[in-house]
Structure 1
């Protein structure tokens, strides 16, 4: 009787682990599929903005659009409308990227700078994601540091923008590169270790990390090529 009971508990635990592994793999697969689609859609809207020489949007419009669509996506994350919302968000952010890219394309070696920023962002994202997936290390301890760091960097970015402080702007770009790299490790770890179970929210976090990583790297490379 006890042996059968023990075997039953082992089978239940094994089955539970297998179910959890399947759920984790499904979450990771869906996240990366959706992330690829949103990045592609952003590239399309950014390309449209570049080709039409769209003007740079007012910072308040950008912040209002971003946070408004972000909160809407979070609210709709468990429904099919969450998918529509995340494409609206990433499409909007892609469009805001167009004028920035045009600005750097106008610099000497601007095309090379933009491509280096694309390549560097891709290399950092793939490398950090692969490390977190392969090691399955728990990076949840970074949560508080990332939250505080992103808040400080965001406030510093606003100060650099309104006060026209190039030195602070440079420091903010370095801060965002470090913080977004940490965010990629953290979010990937959360997916692997069960801290995140919604692929829409996981996609948003990774998308924001990639977006800020790219713009920060573009800024640093642009300064180096001036």
Structure 2
């Protein structure tokens, strides 16, 4: 009887974990869909905002993205508010990605954009499969990720403020490496956690990493030809 109860408990735990992982990826796919809508809307959003904010469009969008990210992080366990916050963040991120893609395409064509999109998909699939197959705990990447993201964040701000194109490319390389490590760490944590009540939080973390990888790859592939 004890063996049967133990087996049933393990089976229920496995089902709960599978349902949790499925929920995380459903949230992630939903975020991609909303971001795609934002990317399609990017020219119209930019056209509406430029007469109001002028040359500060980039800073306004950056502020909106950062604000919606903080909002989404703070309410990630509070349904249905978490859906609204997550949608606002992913839509804003999609608008920014769409504008960046158009800027790069205007100087280098759409090839770097498509390549960056495809490479982001390859990185996502490779690291996800690695985490699923190895079942390793990648939390040892924590310090590397923290330092890398700090360099990425402050380096990006410096590149924007002082218009440092070459430095921006270096920071993009750092971002690809740091966010790839974070993607591996987050996927590993998702597979090992016993807290199944925060699928939105895990999806948000995965989305942020993939977004930064995509933007950074676009900058690396198309930046020198703009």
Query: Structures share a fold, TM > 0.5?
Result: yes
Q: What displacement does 1:74 show?
A: 2.2
| 1:20 paired residue among 8, 13, 23 | 13
Match of 2:152 in 1: 153
Match of 2:119 in 1: 120
Return the alpha-carbon distance in structure 2 between the equivalents of residues 165 and 83 of structure 1.
Answer: 37
- The root-mean-square deviation of aligned C-alpha atoms, in Å, is 2.1
Match of 1:142 in 2: 141
Structure with bigger gyration radius: 1
Give the 3-state SS of the residue equivalent to 1:106 in structure 2: helix
TM-score norm. by structure 1 comes to 0.87
Q: What displacement does 1:195 show?
A: 6.4
Q: What displacement does 1:19 show?
A: 2.7
TM-score norm. by structure 2 comes to 0.87
Give the 3-state SS of the residue equivalent to 1:77 in structure 2: coil
For structure 2, which runs of at least 5 residues remain unmatched after alignment?
none
Work out whether residues 66 and 93 of structure 1, in 8 Å CA contact, stay in contact via their aligned partners in 2.
yes
For structure 1, which runs of at least 5 residues remain unmatched after alignment?
1-6
Match of 2:69 in 1: 70
1:101-122 deviation line (CA, Å, top 9, x unaligned): 11111124x1212111111111
Q: What displacement does 1:156 show?
A: 1.1
Match of 1:4 in 2: none
Q: 1:161 to 1:144 in 2, by over 3 A?
A: same
Return the alpha-carbon distance in structure 2 between the equivalents of residues 211 and 107 of structure 1.
Answer: 22
Match of 1:162 in 2: 161
Return the alpha-carbon distance in structure 1 between the equivalents of residues 205 and 46 of structure 2.
Answer: 29
